[in-house]
Chain A
Amino acid sequence: METRSDARFTESVQENVKQLKDILPAEDVLVFRFETKDGRRCAAVYADGITDKELLGQLAARPLSSEEAPASLAAAERRILFPESKEAEDAEEAAKEVLAGNPALFIDGIAGALVLGTKKVSLRAVAEPQTAIAVKGPREGFIEDVKTNMSLVRRRLKTPALRFKTVNVGRLSGTAVCIVWLEGTADGEVVRRIENRLAAVDTDGVPDSSYVAKFLAERPLSLFKQAGTTEKPDIFCAKLLEGRAGVLVDGSPIALTLPYMLAEDFQSSQDYFVSPYRATVSRLLRLLAVALSLFLPALYVAAQLFKLQLLPFGLLMTVSGGIQDLPLSPSLEMFFLLVVLEILIEASIRMPKYVALALSVIGALVLGDTAVKAGLVSSPAIIIVALSGISAYTVPDLTGTLSLVRLALLLTAGSIGMYGVILLTALILYYLVTADSYGVPPLAPFAPLVRRDLRDTVYKAGVFSLRERPAALRGKNRTRLRIRQESGAEDPGAKMRGRPASGTETDAGKEEEDG
C-alpha cells in the first residue's frame, strides 16, 4: 500500500467516510448510504466491480435498516449474520480490505468499521489447462484466483497438516502469494527460505507467478528452470505429498513447486494412471526425444563438416546428393532452418486461430517444399530440424531451455565441430551438478546418485515399490506407503517385491542416502 495513514476511526460516519475517501480517492470506490429504523446513519465504502453489491444489500443493509441501530460493532456483527466479517480500527487497514473487495461498514455513534467479506471476482471456470492435456487422469486446472486454487488443493488433501501462509507481494499490486506445504512432510528449511525470500521482495507489482519464480530462484539469471511449474492441482498435490513446498500466486493459474529437480519435467501425470511398463517406455522415449532435440542438428552439422565417417555410407550418399549445389554451408543451413522453426512456433502461439491454416500452408509448403526445390536447403536438414523441433515438445516445460541449448550446440558444432559439442555438454553438466535448488541438486537423483529415487525417474516402478518419498527432498517423514496385512491374506506389495511384507516399517533404520 502506497498511502499510509494511522488515523483511527471516530464515532462519526461522515468523518470516517471522508477519512477513507481521502486514502482511496479513486472514482470506483463508492459509498452506499442507508439508515437504521431509528434514523442512525450508516455507510458502506466499497470498490465497484469487485464487491458483491447484492450480498451487501441483502445481508448487511436490509437487517440493519429494518431494526434499531446496534450499540456496538459486535452487536452489529451478530445482527447481520455475515459469515465473513471482522473489525477494522484504522483507515489504513480498512482501505486495504476495500481494495480487496471487502466493503467497510460504518454506523453512526460507533467507532471503527466492520469489514464484510463480500468480495466478488469474475472468474473463469475450473477447466483442463491447455498446456497439460491428459488422456487419463483428472482434468481440473488451476485458475487465476488464489482462493479457488487453495480450495482445489484443500479438496485433495484433507489433512490438518496442509498449511497455507499468505503474504502480500508488490507495493502497488498487493498480490496475494500463498505458500503451501504439508507440515512434517516438507523440509521446514525450504518453507522458511521461501518466506524469507518473499519477505525480501520490494517491487511495485507481481503480474504472474513467473515473477515470483525469479524472486525465489537461487540463480535468477540461469538458463535453466529454477522452480517446478504446474497448472494441475493433482500434480501440485502429488508434489506436496513428495515433500515439496508450493507457491500459489493470485492472478496466475501456474503454481510453483520447490525444490526443483530436472527429472520431474520428464514425469507426466499420465505415468501414474497407466501401467508402470507403459510409463517407463514413455519416460525413456522422452529422454531419447530430448537427446535428439538437443544433439541431432549439432551432430548432423559436425558430422557433415568434420567427420563424414560418422554417417553410414548409404546415408552419406543421400546427404551428399541433397547438399550438392547448396549455397549455404551446413551450419548456416541448419541455423537458418532452426531460426525459421522458432519463428513459426512463436507466430503460431501468438496468431489468431483463424489464420492457423494459412500459416501451416506457408510453413509446410512454402518454407519447406519450395525451399528444397529452390535449392536453398536440403531435405535431410528439414527432416532433422522437424524431428528436433517435435521432439522438444515431449517435455513441454523444457522447450524454452532446449531450444536455446540446441542453438548453442549448433553454433559450437558449426565452429569447433564434434569436440565443441562434447565440451559444451561437459560445461553444462558441470554447471548442473554444482547448481542448487533449495538444497537439492537439480540433477538429483542422478548426480548425486540417490538409488532409491531412481524408481520414479528414468523408470517408473510399480506403486508398491514407491514406499518412500524422494530422499533427495530431505523431508522428515519418508514413508509414503504402508500395506497393512489383512488377516489370512497375502500382502500384494510383498509379492511384487519378492520379500515378506513389513507393515511396521518406520523411518528409523532406513539407510540414509545422500541428496
Chain B
Amino acid sequence: MDKIKLRQICFLYAALLPATRMLLYPATLAYHAGNDLLFSALGNLLAEGIVVFAIMLLAGRTEQTFFGLLKNTFGEIAARVVYGVFALFFALSALLPLLEQKGFVTQVLYENAPTVLSFAPFFAVGLFACMRGLESIGRIADIALPLFAVCFAALIFLALPQADFAALLPVLGRGAAPVLRGWRYGMARYADCLFPLFFLGHFRAEKGGTAKVMLSFAAGAAATLLFLAVFYAVFADLAPLQQNALAQIAKYTTAFTSLGRIDLLPAIALSLVLAFALCIPLQLCTHCACTAIGCRPLLPALAVNGALLALTVFFNYSFREVQTVFAEALWPLFGVFCYLLPLFATLLRKGQRRRGQ
C-alpha cells in the first residue's frame, strides 16, 4: 500500500500525459478532422475521463489491487491470465508512442537523420525504470509537473502571437464524419486512462480524492486542447504538414530573431517529460507480467524492452503504416481494454470495505 500518492496520480494526468499528445497527434488530427480537431480530442478526453472517474470511485470502495479484485471474483489463475493479457496490451499500446517519439527525437534533436541506434539507449532507461517499481512513477510525476508547466507555458507564450483562432471556424462545417475519424485515430493515444486501475491498492484513497484527480485530469485535458487550438490557429491548413508539433508550434516567433530557435529549449526539456511518460506503459507491462508470472522484474523488464527495441527497429520507417493499423484495425481492441474492461472492473467483487466507511 502507499507506493504512489494520490497527488502523484493528479500530477500524472496534469503534466506527464498531456505531453505525449504534442508530437504527431496534432498533425494527424488536423489531417483527419481539419479545423474540428478539438471535437475529436474532446471525444477521446471525455471517454477517458469517464473511465478515470469510474476507477477513482472504485478506489474509494476498496483497498484491494485490481489483481485482488480479479482473484476475489474469478480465482487466482484467471487473475493471472488477465494480468498477462494486460501486460501484452501495455506492450502493444507502447509501440505507437515509441515510434512517434523515435521520429521526434531523430528529426528534432539531430541536424541530419541519425540511425535508429540514437534512440536505442532509451530502452536502457526503460529497463532501469521497469526495475524500480510503481513508486518511481509517482515520484517522477512530482518532478515532471514543474518542468511541464514551465516549458508548456513558454511554448504557448511564444506561439500565441502567431495564432489566428478564426482558423478553427466554422465549427463542424464538414459534418461529424471527420470528427469521428479523428477520434478513432486518436484512440491509441488515450490508453492512459487504464493506469489508475493498476494503481488500485497501491495508493490511499482520501476524501475528495476523486474530485482532485478529475480536476487534474481536466487541467491536463485543457492543456491538450489549448495546445491543439493554438497549433491549428498558427498553421491552419498547413497543420497536417507540421510533424512534431512541439518543435514547430513556436517556430514562426523565434526563427527569424537574433536569439534563434530558443523555442527548441523548452521542446528539448519536454522530451525529458516524454521519456518519463513513455516509460510508464513499460513499467506497468513489467508490473503486470511480474504479478502474472510471480517473478522478479528483471526478466519481464528485459523481455519487454528487448521486444520493443526489436519492433522499433523493424518498424523504423513504417510509422504511418503502424498508425493506420492501430486506427483502422486495432481501435476496437483499444476500446475494449481502455474503456470497457476498466468499467467492468467496477463490478468485480470488492471483498470487505475498509473500516470507518
Answer whether residue A321 sits at the interface, using C-beta atoms and an 8 A cutoff.
no
Partner of B121, one of A316, A423, A434: A423
Which of B129, B132, B138 is in CB contact (< 8 Å) with A448? B138
Q: Which of B12-20, B77-85, B89-97, B270-278 contacts A (4 or more CB under 8 A)?
A: B270-278
| CB pair B258 A313 closer than 8 Å | yes
* A417/B139 in contact, CB under 8 A: no
A514 at the interface (CB under 8 A from B): yes
Q: A466 to B254: give the CA distance in the assembly, Å.
A: 43
A479 to B50, CA, bound (A): 43
- Residue from B7, B118, B125, B261 in contact with A417 in the complex, judged by beta carbons closer than 8 Å: B118
Q: Decide if A309 touches B260 in the complex (CB within 8 Å).
A: yes
CA distance in complex: A331, B271 (Å): 23
B238 adjacent to chain A (CB < 8 Å): no
B248 interface hit (Cβ, 8 Å) = no
B-side contacts of A315, CB under 8 Å: 260
Task: List A contacts of B119 (CB < 8 A).
Answer: 419
Pick the most buried of B135, B139, B268: most chain A CB atoms within 10 A of its CB: B139
Beta-carbon contact of A434 and B136 below 8 Å:
yes
Cβ contacts A47-74/B at 8 Å (1 or 0 each): 0000000000000000000000000000
Q: Return A310 CB to nearest CB of chain B, in Å.
A: 6
Chain B min CB distance to A455 (Å): 16
Interface of A is mostly: helix
Interface residues of A in 424-469 (CB under 8 A from B): 425-427, 429-431, 433-434, 441, 443, 446-449
> Which A295-322 residues sit within 8 Å CB-CB of chain B?
306-316
Tell me the B134-178 residues at the A interface (CB within 8 Å): 135-136, 138-140, 142-143
Binding-face segment, B35-43, B65-73, B109-117: B109-117
B139 and A434 form a contact (CB under 8 A): yes
Query: Is the CB of B31 closer than 8 A to any CB of chain A?
Result: no
On chain A, the residues within 8 Å of B139 by CB distance are 433-434, 441, 443, 447-448
Residues of A within 8 A of B264 (CB): 307, 309-310
- B259's partner among A312, A429, A443 (CB-CB below 8 A) is A312
B268 touches A418 (CB 8 A): yes
CA distance A314 to B139 in the complex (A): 40
Name A430's contact: one of B122, B129, B259 (CB within 8 Å): B129
Query: Quick check: is A416 within 8 A (CB to CB) of the other chain?
Result: yes
Contact residues in A for B64 (Cβ distance below 8 Å): none
- B8 on the A face (CB < 8 A): yes
Given A309-B261, A418-B110, A434-B132, are A448 and B142 neighbors across the interface (CB < 8 Å)? yes
Instruction: Give the CA-CA distance A429 to B110 in the complex, in Å.
Output: 24
| B124 part of interface (Cβ distance < 8 Å) | yes
A420 contacts the other chain (CB 8 A): yes
Interface assignment of A366: CB less than 8 Å from any CB of chain B: no
- Chain B residue numbers with a CB within 8 Å of A448 are 5, 8, 138-139, 142
Are B140 and A416 in contact (CB-based, < 8 A)?
A: no
Within 8 A of A (CB), among B269-309: 271-272, 275-276, 279
A390 within 8 A of B: no
A427 to B275: give the CA distance in the assembly, Å: 10
Interfacial chain B residues near A433, Cβ < 8 Å? 132, 135-136, 139-140, 142-143
Tell me if A161 counts as interface (CB < 8 A to partner B): no
Q: Does chain B have a CB within 8 A of A422? A: yes
Q: Which of B125, B140, B261 contacts A447 (CB 8 A)?
A: B140
Query: Beyond A416-B121, A427-B128, is A449–B275 a contact (Cβ under 8 Å)?
Result: no
Instruction: List A contacts of B110 (CB < 8 A).
Output: 306-307, 417-419
Interface residues on A, range: 20 to 34
From B114, B142, B272, contact of A446 by CB (8 A): B142
Residues of chain A with a CB closer than 8 A to B218's CB = none
Tell me which residues across on chain B come within 8 A of A443, comparing CB atoms: 139, 143
- Identify which of B8, B140, B142, B260 contacts A313 (C-beta below 8 A): B260
Minimal beta-carbon separation of A295 from chain B (angstroms): 11
The residue on B at minimum CB distance from A309 is B261
Please, how many angstroms separate the alpha-carbon atoms of A446 and B145 in the complex? 11
- Would A422 and B136 count as touching, CB distance under 8 A? no
Interface hub of B109, B114, B135 (most chain A Cβ within 10 A): B109
B118 close to A419 (CB less than 8 A): yes
Verify B258–A417 contact, CB threshold 8 A.
no
Question: Roughly how many angstroms separate A315 CA and B259 CA in the complex, as a whole number?
Answer: 9
B105 is an interface residue with CB less than 8 A from chain A: yes
Contacts of B109 in A (CB 8 A): 306-307, 417-419, 422
Q: Say yes or no: B121 contacts A310, CB within 8 Å.
A: no
- Taking CB atoms, residues of chain A closer than 8 Å to B122 are 419, 423
Question: In the complex, A313 Cα to B262 Cα: how many Å?
Answer: 11
Q: How far is A441 from B136 in the complex, measured between Cα atoms in Å?
A: 11
Whether B142 lies near A430 (C-beta < 8 A) is no
Give the residues in chain A near B135, CB-CB below 8 Å: 433-434
**Contact in complex: A416, B7 (CB < 8 Å):** no
> Are B136 and A423 in contact (CB-based, < 8 A)?
no
How far, in Å, is A274 (CB) from chain B's closest CB?
26
Most buried by B among A316, A417, A426: A426
A307 near B111 with CB under 8 A, answer yes
Nearest neighbor of A450 in chain B, beta-carbon distance:
B142
CB pair B261–A514 under 8 Å, yes or no, is no
- Given the known interface contacts A307-B109, A430-B136, A449-B7, the answer about A417 and B114 at a Cβ–Cβ threshold of 8 Å is yes
Chain A contacts for B262, CB-based, 8 A:
312
* Residues from chain A with Cβ under 8 Å of B142 in the complex: 433, 446-449
**Knowing A311-B260, A416-B121, A419-B119 touch, does A430 contact B140 (C-beta < 8 A)?**
yes
Closest chain B residue, CB of each to CB of A425 = B272
> Residue B271 contacts which of A308, A416, A422, A431 (CB distance < 8 angstroms)?
A422
Contacts of A420 in B (CB 8 A): 118, 121
* Pairwise interchain contact A423-B124, C-beta atoms closer than 8 A: yes
Q: Return the CB mask of B331-354 against A: 1 if under 8 Å, else 0.
A: 000000000000000000000000
Q: Please give the distance in Å from B209's CB to the nearest CB on chain A.
A: 14
Closest chain B residue, CB of each to CB of A441: B139
Known: A307-B110, A425-B272, A430-B136. A446 touches B143 (CB 8 A): yes
Q: How far is the CA of A315 from the CA of B257 in the complex (A)?
A: 13
**Do A419 and B260 touch (CB < 8 A)?**
no
Whether B143 and A422, one on each chain, are in contact in the complex, defined by CB atoms closer than 8 angstroms, is no
Name A316's closest neighbour in chain B (CB-CB): B260
C-alpha spacing A388/B196, complex, angstroms: 42
Q: Which residues of B contact A431 (CB under 8 A)?
A: 128
A514 CA to B122 CA, complexed, in Å: 30
Q: Nearest chain-B residue to A417 (Cβ)?
A: B110
Nearest-CB residue, chain A, relative to B7:
A449
Q: In the docked arrangement, what's the CA distance between A375 and B5, Å?
A: 56
**In the complex, residue of chain B having the shortest beta-carbon distance to the beta carbon of A307:** B111
17 contacting pairs across A/B (C-beta < 8 A): A309-B261, A310-B264, A312-B260, A417-B110, A417-B118, A418-B268, A422-B272, A430-B125, A430-B129, A430-B136, A431-B128, A433-B143, A443-B139, A446-B142, A447-B140, A448-B5, A448-B138
Contacts beyond the supplied A309-B261, A314-B258, A446-B143: 13 A-B pairs with Cβ under 8 Å:
A308-B111, A310-B265, A312-B258, A316-B260, A417-B114, A422-B109, A426-B276, A427-B124, A430-B129, A433-B132, A434-B139, A446-B142, A448-B8
Write the residues of chain B forming the contact surface with A, with a CB cutoff of 8 angstroms.
5, 7-8, 105, 109-111, 114, 118-119, 121-122, 124-125, 128-129, 132-133, 135-136, 138-140, 142-143, 258-262, 264-265, 268, 271-272, 275-276, 279
Q: Which residues of A contact B (CB under 8 A)?
A: 306-316, 416-420, 422-423, 425-427, 429-431, 433-434, 441, 443, 446-449, 514
In the complex, the 9 A-B pairs of residues with the closest C-beta atoms, listed nearest first? A433-B139, A312-B260, A447-B142, A447-B139, A418-B109, A449-B142, A434-B132, A306-B110, A426-B275
